[in-house]
Amino acid sequence: MSNLETLKKGYQLFAEGKIEEVLAMWDKDIVWKECKGFPFVEGDGTYIGPQTIAKEVFSNLPKYYDNFNIEIDDFVNGGEKIVMISHYSGIWKASGKPFEANATHTWTFKNGKPASFFQAVDTAEIMKD
């Protein structure tokens, strides 16, 4: 399976709520850089390892958002480095307002597994008052 196919499968599993299967696809020492504007991000937004990411990132999404969704628009395939271009949608629970925000994810692969993740997103849009 190519890196791009692996990534597409991971996003599909995430959309289906199969988080443990997503985590199993990643390098055991994956470095995750979450965008600093998210309400649950502490420090510089860096998390290491699949279980830490599940606990500190994925488990927090339903606490702050209803119907959180990633709509993939495109991929830029650089082989070992792939950029996913998308937008997030859902409802910011604090205000009850829906949002749609531009987002990109940059993934770096090592030995056929995602080993690094960097997120950029319009955090002002996803926390509408």
Domain ranges of the chain: 3-126
The CATH number of domain 3-126, selected from 3.10.450.50, 3.20.20.70, 1.10.150.120, 3.40.920.10? 3.10.450.50
Q: Supply the pTM of this predicted model.
A: 0.94
Whether 127 shows a pLDDT value over 90: the answer reads no
Q: Strand runs (DSSP E) across the chain, as ranges? A: 31-33, 46-48, 65-77, 81-92, 97-110, 113-121
pLDDT, tens digit (0-9, with 9 covering 90-100), for 84-120:
999 999 999 999 999 999 999 999 999 999 999 999 9
Residues in the chain: 129
Cα separation of 92 and 111, whole Å?
37
User: What's the pLDDT tens digit per position in 29-84?
Assistant: 999 999 988 888 989 999 999 999 999 999 999 999 999 999 999 999 999 999 99
Spatial distance between the Cα atoms of 66 and 32, rounded to a whole number of angstroms:
23
